Structure 1
Amino acid sequence: MFSQVSKRPWLIAVVISVLLVLWLLSGSLFRAKESASADQPIPEPGLAKVQIQWLQASPMQRQLVVQGQVEAWRRVELRAQISASVLRLDQDKGQPVAQGQLLLSLSPDDRSAQVARSEAEVRQRETDVSSAKRLRERNLFSANELLRLDSELAKARAELATARLHLRNTRIEAPFAGVYDARTVELGDFVQPGQSLLTLVDISQLKVSAQIAQQDVIQLTLGQQVAVQMLDGREMAGELHFIAAAADPDSRSFRVEVRVDNPESLRLAGASATLQIQTGEALAHRLSPALLSLDADGHQGVKWVNEQQRVEFTRVSLISVDNQGAWVSGLPPRVALITLGQGFVEPGQQVLSQLAKEGS
């Protein structure tokens, strides 16, 4: 065999070259292993692979977005105070009216006569009391008898006030300027005390009511500006003017009201609206809503990879969402977010991460 090798010197050169290459490769692998152990744990065979993207937090206005209901600033249902018939419909429903304007008239019946009788009774009692006082000054009239006459005068005056009130209740007037919105009676209808007659609304201003979760209400202050967006895209500026002192016992949420000027008297009461309330600045990350997931307790968060190449799950707060993505707070300022494979790994699991390519 040696004689054959000696006859082929090129074979010796090939063998030596192969051995030299193997020796060099063994040294390179050893150095690579030492370098990897110095920077991070050596990946174990069979680790799950995930793609990551480095995200840096940016200052962002924290915004509370809730759905609300637009209501008239004031709304009153006017009811009958007496038994009477509808005598006149003085205004048409749907029309703007001024404060004190006559809207509907009920039949006076004998109420005018009752006022006249009561006025005469009062005048008679006043004369009796006046005469009795003069006699009393000369000790010609007893104190008890004078007290009785004073009592009868007070009774007559009370009856006169009641008669005048009943007569005044035949005139249904607007307690404030607004819109004659609805009527529930017709000409000639007989009404009883407490029966609904008409509805008056004030839409010179509007209020948008909403329910705020108990963990968010502490961020609100009276007087702060609120953006109100209607379903048709119209945007209006409002001011937070009311925050309930106690939560609703069923929903554990707090009622808030936003005042919105409506100088054009737009018919928006009863519609839905979205309230956008600024609640201060926070560091936030912008990411795809598809990367949000839920933990075992149902809390929203995202998965990312720490320096030890282990998966972390951090709960986040959603600041805002639009067509381009979501802004969330609660993550470290710089984070290696898992963008591919997050559904196949669990918190605490060691993974093999790979930086996602641009645009992926």
Structure 2
Amino acid sequence: MRSSILIAVLIVLATLGWVASGMIGTEDTPGSIAADLQPPRSEGMEAPVPTVRVARLSAEKRVSSLSVLGETRAARRVDVRAQTSGRVIEVAAEEGRPVEDGALLVELAMDDRMERLSRAEAAIARWEDRTRADQRLANRDFTSRQSVMESKAALEDARAALAAILIDIDHTKIQAPFAGIVAERMVEVGDFLSVGDPVARIVDLDPLVVAAKIPESDIDSLHVGLSGTATLVNGRALEGEITFIAPVADGVTRTFTVELSFPRPDPPVPEGMTARVTIPLDSTMAHRISPAVLGLDDQGRIGVKLVDAEDHVVFHPVHLTGDDDQGIWVEGLPDPATVIIVGQEFVSPGQRVTPVDTETIAQNTAAMAAADRDARDAGRAPDATIDSIADDRQ
């Protein structure tokens, strides 16, 4: 009994050893398995032609543009200052409110100005009488001509004093120098102002100005009167034109300040907002492609692989001119161009390929989907119908 068990164990061990030796000596790799599955290739048989997906693209008219960041500015801005001294008795300016040209902003107390006005008027009357009297006496040789000239000089001084007090009285009413908006008010009722003290800041937002810094490499493309667009951070777009180009570059950034003016928008746009300035330049014909189809040739040039009329791969260098939400714009391709959009990484220039147009794929897909629906409506197996359509198109 024990001998039979021992013999059985030996047979099992021998069998396991034989199986293990076969697995170690004949380990299969994915490549060998794939090679076994492929049919044998006879000598002289050509390699299969690779299939690539292509898209036939036509050139489109594209307007190249310059795009930089800028900020909104007032067309005019001034800090209104006091031209005489006095205590503030009335404040008519309200921050954020529009004012007309000549509108009252602040009024100062008259103090003794009316008394000074009366004295100046009296002095004029007195010296007018004195001058006439001296003139009559001089005509009779009872006084010298020098006395007449002194009287006339005193009369002119009195008249100048009257004009000065009238101007000083006029300066007690501080007015807006132009129509605009009160951006800031610096005084309140009861404040005492001296000559030169700031009263209010007035800004003129009609027209609205957007200032941008333009690199020196692009300044030659611009001129006064060129149209442009300013897109604000809230998405609002304004149409205007260039009204100023700085004749001198910034000494640090080497950029030129360019201003575009826009008719006052409604609602008004405040000063200091960020805006994207876009200035259209020249128009050219270009192709819009996906950046995924770009590649480099042996010389390091950036380009695109195309398929020519004989179904051979051709590499075309291109020049990038811009981009948008739908792709990039390139120049240098023939029009139209059969661009390889799938499989370009696996083919080389000069290689023959089988191009499959994206439109054909879309048509086949649509036809198969329609056949699928028809088959379901008719109660047939949809796969068989789709296979038959695919066979018909091959």
Provide TM-score, normalisation by structure 1: 0.68
Within 1, Cα distance between the matches of 2:333 and 2:173? 69
Which runs of structure 2 are paired with 1:1-360 in the superposition (5 Å)?
Answer: 25=44, 58-262=60-264, 264-288=266-290, 302-303=302-303, 316-318=320-322, 321-328=323-330, 331=332
Q: CA deviation at 1:156?
A: 2.5
Q: CA deviation at 1:214?
A: 1.7
Within 2, Cα distance between the matches of 1:109 and 1:134? 40
The question of whether the paired residues in 1 share the 8 Å contact of 2:87 and 2:193 is answered with yes
More strand by share: 1
- Give % identity: 32
The question of whether the paired residues in 2 share the 8 Å contact of 1:204 and 1:264 is answered with no
Evaluate the alpha carbon distance shift between residue 55 and residue 174 of structure 1 in structure 2; reply closer, same or farther with a 3 A threshold.
same
Please list every run of 5 or more consecutive structure 2 residues that lacks an aligned counterpart in the other structure.
Answer: 1-41, 48-52, 296-300, 307-312, 359-394
Q: CA deviation at 1:209?
A: 1.1
Please list every run of 5 or more consecutive structure 1 residues that lacks an aligned counterpart in the other structure.
Answer: 1-20, 30-50, 294-300, 343-349
Within 2, Cα distance between the matches of 1:223 and 1:96? 29
Q: CA deviation at 1:226?
A: 1.7
Q: For each residue in 1:102-151, what CA deviation from the matched residue of structure 2 results, as whole angstroms up to 9, or x when unmatched?
A: 12111221122222222222332333334434444455543433333333
Q: CA deviation at 1:79?
A: 1.4
SS in 2 for 1:282: strand
Query: What letter is aligned with 1:235?
Result: A
Number of aligned residue pairs: give it.
301
Residue 32 (structure 1) aligns with? none
Q: For each residue in 1:227-277, what CA deviation from the matched residue of structure 2 results, as whole angstroms up to 9, or x when unmatched?
A: 221111112221221222222222222212111112535243221111221
Within 1, Cα distance between the matches of 2:122 and 2:54? 96
Query: What letter is aligned with 1:202?
Result: D
The question of whether the paired residues in 2 share the 8 Å contact of 1:96 and 1:180 is answered with yes
SS in 1 for 2:251: coil
SS in 2 for 1:63: strand
Q: CA deviation at 1:52?
A: 11
Query: What letter is aligned with 1:189?
Result: D
Q: CA deviation at 1:305?
A: 7.8
Within 1, Cα distance between the matches of 2:181 and 2:133? 54
The question of whether the paired residues in 2 share the 8 Å contact of 1:229 and 1:275 is answered with yes
Within 1, Cα distance between the matches of 2:101 and 2:305? 67
The question of whether the paired residues in 1 share the 8 Å contact of 2:287 and 2:333 is answered with no
Evaluate the alpha carbon distance shift between residue 55 and residue 113 of structure 1 in structure 2; reply closer, same or farther with a 3 A threshold.
same
Within 1, Cα distance between the matches of 2:61 and 2:161? 72
Residue 345 (structure 1) aligns with? none
The farther-off stretch of 127-136 and 173-182 is: 127-136
Evaluate the alpha carbon distance shift between residue 140 and residue 212 of structure 1 in structure 2; reply closer, same or farther with a 3 A threshold.
farther
Residue 297 (structure 1) aligns with? none
The question of whether the paired residues in 1 share the 8 Å contact of 2:211 and 2:259 is answered with yes
Q: For each residue in 1:304-331, what CA deviation from the matched residue of structure 2 results, as whole angstroms up to 9, or x when unmatched?
A: 689xx9999877554xx321123356x5
Evaluate the alpha carbon distance shift between residue 310 and residue 267 of structure 1 in structure 2; reply closer, same or farther with a 3 A threshold.
closer
Within 2, Cα distance between the matches of 1:53 and 1:229? 34
Within 2, Cα distance between the matches of 1:205 and 1:246? 24
Within 2, Cα distance between the matches of 1:140 and 1:52? 118
Structure with bigger RCO (C-alpha 8 Å, 6+ apart)? 1
* Structure ID, larger Rg: 2
Q: CA deviation at 1:182?
A: 1.8
Within 1, Cα distance between the matches of 2:291 and 2:325? 10
Within 1, Cα distance between the matches of 2:286 and 2:121? 77
Q: For each residue in 1:153-176, what CA deviation from the matched residue of structure 2 results, as whole angstroms up to 9, or x when unmatched?
A: 333233222222222221111111
Evaluate the alpha carbon distance shift between residue 137 and residue 254 of structure 1 in structure 2; reply closer, same or farther with a 3 A threshold.
farther
SS in 2 for 1:268: coil
Post-superposition, which runs of at least 4 consecutive aligned residues in structure 1 deviate over 6 A?
51-56, 290-293, 309-315, 334-342, 350-359
Residue 9 (structure 1) aligns with? none
More helix by share: 2
Evaluate the alpha carbon distance shift between residue 114 and residue 278 of structure 1 in structure 2; reply closer, same or farther with a 3 A threshold.
same
